[in-house]
Amino acid sequence: MLLETGQVEVDTKDISGWTPLHWASLVGNTAVVNALLETGQVDINAQDHGGKTPLHCAAERGHHEVIALFLETEQLDVDAGSDKGWSPIRTALQKGNSKVVRLLLETGDIDLGRDQSRRIKKMLKKLNLSSRSEAESYPCE
């Protein structure tokens, strides 16, 4: 494979600031995501010109398999905010991707208070992710 030659710059950004990892995450290509991560040369938290990370891309499209791969790395910032202040979990909530929301909540590293807490709770309830009492137990302060 081309990546194995060591002659490929795996973190090269395009005009929008997207890396190959952004693109692979957006389309849900787990094989490419895994291959890029295995190089050890990608910045999993690379931000495009709008502050979106590959995690935002996967969360937006509901690619929970990609997110599961990301969660296996130690470097992942699960709560990274875009320039608009949107975290990956808020992106997933907005798009109705409940499987992704569950995965991210299970990390225990999500600060729901960084986004508008009432809005987040309302979205959680709308997706029926949990009982009312469980949704209210997520820290929002």
For 21-65, write each residue's pLDDT tens digit: 999 999 999 999 999 999 999 999 999 999 999 999 999 999 999
**Separation of alpha carbons 83 and 92, rounded Å:** 16
Which residue type sits at 55? Answer: L
On whether residue 15 sits in a domain, the answer given is no
| Residue 47 within any structural domain of the chain | yes
Cα 63 from Cα 50, distance rounded (Å): 20
Q: What is the CATH number of the domain that holds 35?
A: 1.25.40.20
Report d(CA 122, CA 2) in Å as an integer. 46
Distance, in Å, from the CA atom of 38 to the CA atom of 50, rounded to the nearest integer, reads: 26
Number of domains observed in the structure of the chain: 1
Q: What is the pLDDT of residues 61-117, one digit of tens each?
A: 999 999 999 999 999 999 888 888 888 998 998 898 989 998 998 887 776 666 555
DSSP labels, 10-40: TT---TTS--HHHHHHHHT-HHHHHHHHHHT
Q: Does 133 fall in a domain?
A: no
User: How is residue 124 written in tokens?
Assistant: 């959680």
The pTM of this model reads 0.81
First to last CA, the chain: 47
State the residue range of the domain holding 56.
Answer: 20-127
In a domain, 13, yes or no: no
Residue 52 belongs to a domain: yes
Instruction: Please report whether residue 114 resides in a domain.
Output: yes
